[in-house]
Amino acid sequence: MEDDGQRRVLVAQRQPADRQFTSRFLELLGGYQVHEAADGMSMIKGLKNKPDLIVADTHESAQFPRAIEIIKRNKAFEETPIVVYSEERHLVSSFAAKGIQGFIIKPAAPAVLLGKLWKVLGGESAREATASSFSERFQADLDDIEDLPTLPSVFSEVDRLCKDPDIGADELSKVIETDPSITLKLLNLANSAFFGFSRRIKTVHEAISLLGNKTVKNAILNIAVYEATKDLATSAGLDKKEFWVHAAGVGSVARFLCKKLSIDRDEAFTAGIVHDTGKIILDSLYADFYKDVLKRVAENDVSIYEAEEEVIGLTHATIGQELAESWNLGPELSAAIAHHHQPGRADGDEEIACLVHVGDAVARRMGVGSGGDSKVPEIDPEVLKKLSISTDQLSEWDSEIQEAVDRDRSVLSILQS
Ligand SMILES: [Fe+2]
Ligand SMILES: [Fe+2]
């Protein structure tokens, strides 16, 4: 076939009206030369036109999924990008595994459809294409996915009540006590070395009176996040035991810094606990992608954050932020999750992102657990400036930090009990 420079697209859609609409749209707005296929067989026959791109829907009865598999197995066409354009968003993950270059959920705005096809045709690398399909897949999954972890309902209720500054211990304790497992862990936390009370706290009411609503809410959130993520079905192999030691370690350092620098941040420890939650989600819900991330970390001198960017184009910070929003964790924790690698980018709450940023680097330097790689990140000098500390000062605090980390391990053993 003569190459006139015009891009060729094969549009494989079952419904004639749909197919013609997509075709006219691509011809008129995109300037593509379009060939059409009404079923899987004519889709395969349409390969003789040497399309630069195939846009296919997912109708089983028209045998499009089968045709996609056949095309991907054919050496001559395995590189031909295929974008699936379908309303069947539950099929995103099975198609992503087949090596397609994108998934557009119908109905898509014309600009989205054209933009996506242009991107695939524009010579971007396979990795970038995978990343963009991943991004869409993630967005689609977040809306629809049923196995996205949910926090125990008692947390949402406590969170709602705590928005009222006048809420009393009576009302709050009644709600907490509806969950016996959380009640027990909360009492164990209240009596742990983490809080260091000399007398025994026997009731939730007493714990609330002594610790205050906000501290109790954060303690419940620590329990809730651990509970919600501990039994996820699949895993690409992230070491969860070391992950939690790291998370608690970061929390301890952040909490230590608050005490040392007289910063009033009740959520500092919890910010450490939740800061890398995005890794657990990626490791489980996107295990097929995350295996490659972990392999890259093991074989190359890169951080897990860099490997996530390289392999899937999205980091645990971004995914974690989405999760924080779906869990309604509030702006402070959301900022800690989203910006702990680049606190300078936090447009709202920079301080908590700075505390976790330093906590992350210090915990890694001191070998407290593992965040999934063995790289010790550099602390951003701007962050040190903002917190009015120096690296020398941090090193001088090493033994005190170690003590805080050891003491706060009690929290982890309670969460895991
Ligand atoms: Fe991180
Ligand atoms: Fe981390």
Q: Is residue 56's pLDDT more than 80?
A: yes
**Boundary (domain end) residue, out of 112, 144, 176:** 144
**Boundary (domain end) residue, out of 144, 176, 200:** 144
Report pLDDT digits (tens) over 28-53.
Answer: 766 788 999 998 888 887 888 888 88
Question: Do 290 and 399 fall within a single domain?
Answer: yes
Q: What is the pLDDT of residue 204?
A: 98
Residue 166's CATH number = 1.10.3210.10
Angle between helix axes 398-415 and 240-260 (nearest 10 degrees) is 130
The more confident residue out of 379 and 139 is 379
Angle formed at CA 22 by CA 130 and CA 33, multiple of 5 degrees: 85
CB atoms within 10 A of CB 78: 10
Give distance in angstroms: CA of 268 to centre of ligand 2: 14
Angle formed at CA 169 by CA 165 and CA 170, multiple of 5 degrees: 120
Are 340 and 279 contacting, i.e. CB atoms less than 8 angstroms apart?
A: no
Domain range for 317 is: 153-415
Question: Do 14 and 112 fall within a single domain?
Answer: yes
Decide: residue 135, CB within 10 A, 0-12 exposed, 13-18 middle, 19+ buried. Answer: middle
Number of structural domains (the chain) is 2
Question: Do 129 and 161 fall within a single domain?
Answer: no
Question: Do 106 and 159 fall within a single domain?
Answer: no
Give distance in angstroms: CA of 337 to centre of ligand 1: 8
Question: Do 165 and 283 fall within a single domain?
Answer: yes
Q: Is residue 129's pLDDT more than 60?
A: no
Residue type, 69: E
Q: 12-21, 93-102, 114-123, 172-181: which has the minimum mean pLDDT?
A: 114-123
Q: What is the pLDDT of residue 174?
A: 97
Q: What is the pLDDT of residue 4?
A: 60
Say if 113 falls within a structural domain: yes
Give distance in angstroms: CA of 357 to centre of ligand 1: 8
Percent of the chain scored above 70 by pLDDT? Answer: 86
Residue 118's CATH number = 3.40.50.2300
Q: What is the pLDDT of residue 111?
A: 56
Token pair in block for residue 220: 């419940």
Q: What is the pLDDT of residue 319?
A: 80
3-state secondary structure of 240: helix
| Pairwise CA distance, residues 375 & 297, whole Å | 10
Mean pLDDT of all residues in 193-202: 95
Q: Which stretch of DSSP H or E encloses residue 111?
A: helix 110-121
Question: Do 175 and 121 fall within a single domain?
Answer: no
Question: Do 197 and 80 fall within a single domain?
Answer: no
Give distance in angstroms: CA of 341 to centre of ligand 1: 6
Question: Do 327 and 224 fall within a single domain?
Answer: yes
Which residues have CB atoms below 5 A from the ion given as ligand 2? Answer: 276, 360, 371
Give distance in angstroms: CA of 62 to centre of ligand 1: 45
Give distance in angstroms: CA of 247 to centre of ligand 2: 6
Say if 2 falls within a structural domain: no
Give distance in angstroms: CA of 264 to centre of ligand 2: 22
Say if 323 falls within a structural domain: yes
Give distance in angstroms: CA of 272 to centre of ligand 2: 8
Taking CA atoms, 195 is separated from 132, 154, 177, 190, 266, in Å, by: 45, 22, 21, 6, 12
Question: Do 161 and 135 fall within a single domain?
Answer: no
Say if 3 falls within a structural domain: no
Say if 48 falls within a structural domain: yes
The more confident residue out of 414 and 102 is 414
Question: Do 120 and 240 fall within a single domain?
Answer: no
Question: Do 135 and 158 fall within a single domain?
Answer: no
Rg (Cα) of the chain, in Å, rounded? 26
Q: Kindly indicate the confidence band of residue 148, based on its pLDDT and cuts at 50, 70 and 90.
A: low
Give distance in angstroms: CA of 272 to centre of ligand 1: 10
Say if 93 falls within a structural domain: yes
Question: Do 190 and 299 fall within a single domain?
Answer: yes
| Pairwise CA distance, residues 272 & 222, whole Å | 10
